[in-house]
Amino acid sequence: MKRFFFYPLFITTLFIFSCSIATHRSRNYIPPRPVPTDAIKTHVLVAQLIYNEEDELIGHSHGCGSIINDNGQRVYVLTAGHVVETRRLLPDHAHHLNLAVRLSADGEWIPARVERRQEDLDAAIISFPSSPLRQFHMLPIAEEDPEIGDIIWGIGSPSYAFRMFIHRVIAGRCGRDIPCRCCTGNQVCWTLDGPAWPGFSGGAAVNRDGELVGIIVALHMFSPNRDPASGVIISLSTLRPLISDFLPNGQE
């Protein structure tokens, strides 16, 4: 008889408790923002095309960048410095390298040139000819650096994928919160809570509003008692002196 009265009481109590939790969550629920997909419209593939003495294409490097300005004559792209480096990429059997960009997975390579590169900073500005027949989307620039705990999206071009998002959280500042040899001097670099795979070098790190907050430059190895690897981004405050002359009016 006791068991007969216990079950209805238990079910009623459980129902009331579940309703109270659902009400509490609904009052405090913050709907997630959509992935800032507009940022991928600014994404380009950046490569050093490797040719032999017969001027035959025998390979290419792999990186990416983001369009930050189109002045009607040249389209300016922000990328990582090591993506455009030539000395380490030129194999013994190669004759020369040509810098180029690609705007789609199956598009043609467009010749590009380096506009500015800072030796002590793994970042560079490159450009390619603009075209009146095509609209180039430009990546907006954030006003402030991200902070620890902020969500960012990284855009890259790993193998067999032209554009791909990774969802990461800022885990700490290199050299302050986490030991790191990727960044030197006064550079502000942030480590992420997960890896950035090959092909993400030079890719944009954007906030929830789709604004540039840095670029992905490295894969930082943690100590054995931590996660095996983490992506590293150079912050916008470090990049701004490099890119300010190439930004549209009002974003310098």
Beta bridge partners of 99: 48
**Same domain (yes/no): 114, 163:** no
Q: How much is the CA Rg of the chain, to the nearest whole Å?
A: 23
**Same domain (yes/no): 166, 211:** yes
E strand residue ranges, the chain: 43-51, 57-60, 63-70, 74-79, 96-102, 110-111, 113-117, 124-129, 151-156, 164-173, 189-192, 204-206, 212-221, 229-235
Beta bridge partners of 67: 77
| Residue numbers of the domain that contains 88 | 37-129
Q: Is residue 98 part of a domain?
A: yes
Q: Is residue 218 part of a domain?
A: yes
- What the block records as the tokens of 196 is 């950035």
Q: Kindly report, residue by residue over 83-121, the tens digit of the pLDDT.
A: 887 665 555 566 677 888 988 777 888 999 999 988 778
Q: Kindly report, residue by residue over 169-227, the tens digit of the pLDDT.
A: 887 777 666 655 556 666 788 888 877 777 888 999 999 888 999 999 876 554 444 45
Q: Is residue 101 part of a domain?
A: yes
Q: Is residue 84 part of a domain?
A: yes
- Which of 45, 47, 42, 48 lies closest to 68 in space, CA to CA? 42
**Same domain (yes/no): 166, 228:** yes
Q: Is residue 25 part of a domain?
A: no
Q: Is residue 17 part of a domain?
A: no
**Same domain (yes/no): 60, 104:** yes
Q: Is residue 204 part of a domain?
A: yes
Q: Kindly report, residue by residue over 8-23, the tens digit of the pLDDT.
A: 555 555 555 455 443 4
Q: Cα–Cα distance between 127 and 130 in angstroms, integer?
A: 9
Q: Cα–Cα distance between 117 and 239 in angstroms, integer?
A: 11
- Amino acid letter, 41: K
**Looking at the 3D structure of the chain, how many domains does it have?**
2
Can you give the CATH number for the domain in which 67 is found? 2.40.10.10
